[in-house]
Amino acid sequence: MTPTLTLEQETNPWQAQAARFDFAAQKLNLDKGLWKILSQPSREIIVHIPVGMDDGSIEVFTGYRVQHSVARGPAKGGIRYSPDVSLDEVRALASWMTWKCAVVNIPFGGAKGGVICDPRSMSQGELERVTRRYTAELIEFIGPEKDVPAPDMGTNEQTMAWIMDTYSMHTRQTVNAVVTGKPVNLGGSRGRTAATGRGISVVCDEALKHLGMSIEGCRVIVQGFGNVGSNAARILAEKGYTIIGIAEYDGGLYNPRGIDIPALIEHRKKAGTIKWLRRGRGSRQRRAAHLRLRDPHPSRDRKRHHQQKRRPHPGKDSLRGRQRSHYPGRRRDPRRQEDHHYPRHSRQRRRCHHQLL
């Protein structure tokens, strides 16, 4: 039995988290005092960051850092850069970090941070200035024994290097341990970049064993092709899975015979997008993201679909590799201006594919 949530609760990440926490606390018969303590973050920090832009103007960005719990050790959690960052989202992500660290018995608490900005439209210099100013504003609240940031959506090892350097400048000594996910030559861990994607592949392997399925012929659709998605797709393909679909914020790819993942990774490095890869059919993001992994009886599947009278949903066996950033009801990516109509007739669909390629 799962908790029944209202639409408002489900579309608000903090309320959705709180409803599930209350449900779990009831199941565990958790002490009322602990229940109250864990229901709220220990600390919430909001900063407003003035940054000089490349064109000479000044922009003020809003940043957050939420420390949900430090009862088990220093807080631990990533920093994300996105136009959709909100305080409720950061609160929820911080609390999920607390639960995750506790479940695997790592001596850390939970934290999360974020800055409302669009990293895709900003230069490296602008991102560096945002990061260094954000770090300077939080200098009293982060540190190896207080709160250890990490990369998340829109940030990477370069971002962590800027944070480490800024923190070290303020403390007058090199402090490598202030962040994780930094470059290897600054004390980072080998394999860290691909670790989450590799974890997905391990979970997929174990799930197939549990379901009695074989890797050979197992088809996979990956939603997102950033650090997690690209590494998961690469490692799964190396193991023998067939990657038939990739969905990104600006478009998608679908090829029933399988997508050449190494070629796609190389294409994305050069073009900055997964679109226009000649070895796969281009399509709308929504089309690629909602393809169903059908069973080998298409007629039975079609009959069931018509009986249900609703559009196909994603396959029943799905796996999420990181904490979600978009929730039902959230506005779509403001950078996406196109809204191609996806025709129903097969001949029109083929023409649409060629146009998108």
Work out the pLDDT band at 322, boundaries 50, 70, 90.
low
The confidence score (pLDDT) of residue 324 equals: 52
Q: Please name the residue ranges forming H helices in the chain.
A: 7-11, 13-28, 32-38, 87-103, 124-137, 157-171, 195-211, 227-239, 261-271, 285-289, 298-308, 346-356
The confidence score (pLDDT) of residue 271 equals: 86
Is the confidence at residue 343, as pLDDT, over 50? no
Instruction: Give strand pairing partners of 64.
Output: 46, 114
Active-site residue identified among 27, 36, 112, 303: 112
Domains of the chain in start order, with CATH, are 11-186 (3.40.50.10860), 195-331+348-356 (3.40.50.720)
pLDDT tens-digit series, residues 222-274: 999 988 999 999 999 999 999 999 998 888 899 999 999 999 999 998 888 88
Work out the pLDDT band at 130, boundaries 50, 70, 90.
very high
Tell me, yes or no, if 316 is annotated catalytic.
no
Higher-pLDDT residue of 346 and 128 is 128
Q: Give the C-alpha distances (Å, rounded to integers) separating 299 from 222, 287, 302, 303.
A: 26, 21, 5, 6
Instruction: Give the pLDDT mean for 213-217.
Output: 91
Helix (H) or strand (E) holding 247: strand 242-248
Backbone angles phi, psi at 258, to 5 degrees: 110, 140
* Residue % of the chain over a pLDDT of 90: 69
